[in-house]
Amino acid sequence: MNELPASVTIGTGEGDLPVVDINSAQARARLYLYGAHLTEWTPAGQEPVLWLSPDSVFEDGNPIRGGIPLCLPWFSKGPGGDKEPMHGVARITTWELDSVSESADGAVTLHLGLRLEDWSASLTVTVGEELSLELTTTNHGEANLQVEEALHTYFTVADVKNVRVTGLDGVAYLDKVAGEDATQSGDVVFTDRTDRVYESGAPVEIRDPGFSRRIEITNEASANTVVWNPWEETTRGMADIPDNAWPGFVCVETANVGGNATLLAPGSHTTIGTTYRVTPLE
């Protein structure tokens, strides 16, 4: 691997797992090689953008709770509901750090790779005033490979009850709590447990009056947006999230899942990506 920029260090994090730390004039970030899992992105002068559970488990075989889990090559239990482990193997496998570079403006780019028997994945993460991720999956097998993919991002908010997600008005969605299809009317607001798969990958915004900011989300090659918050009762049954932590985050996920899964022919690939930008809420 090439020589590291001065703003980048490699060390150990929680659970003695290897991490890449970035501390530049533009932002601070941390990425675990386990799961190629970004757990921090804090632009200069901002509150942290990513939420990480203080009760997360950091050990082989357990997914990290918070940050940006990579759901691959399936989402949840897969289109047929019979896949294990939950959300695929990419988030509980250690990736290789292939290269690190720094641009003239100080943004840092990491290239990571994962190679399994029949398929591989590569992740490009660019950390600066904006955060960009691009995830590519390639089928190396002799048969077609069905791929679901999601960037399951946990965003820090002041209080989810006061947050709005814009950009989904009029979009059809699957309400996984109610078990029925519906159509969004107006902004997405949070009054109870929320688990929805929207049929849109168009730009959305998280509007957070408590932190006086907007988090702008611009997606690449994404057909779905997943919105999730477990609320009070569900959180009590989750060992890796404190009972009182649910108001402090919301998941808005860039995804291709369910009927938008990709059928990869041998030798072909698929790419999904997203960019996050923080601006003042006026």
Q: Which residues are catalytic?
A: 152, 253
Residue among 192, 183, 255 at smallest CA distance from 226: 255
Cα–Cα distances in angstroms (integers) from residue 132 to residues 6, 56, 259, in the given order: 21, 24, 26
Prior bond to 79 cis, omega within 30?
no
Q: Does residue 219 sit in helix, strand or coil?
A: strand
Torsion of CA 141, 144, 145, 147, to 10 degrees: 140
Query: Hey, how many other C-beta atoms are within 10 angstroms of the C-beta on 81?
Result: 7
Token pair for 59: 């050990």
Could you write out the DSSP letters of every residue in 241-280? S-TT-GGGEEEEEEEE-GGG-EEEPTT-EEEEEEEEEEEE
Q: Does residue 127 sit in helix, strand or coil?
A: strand
Token pair for 147: 């791929």
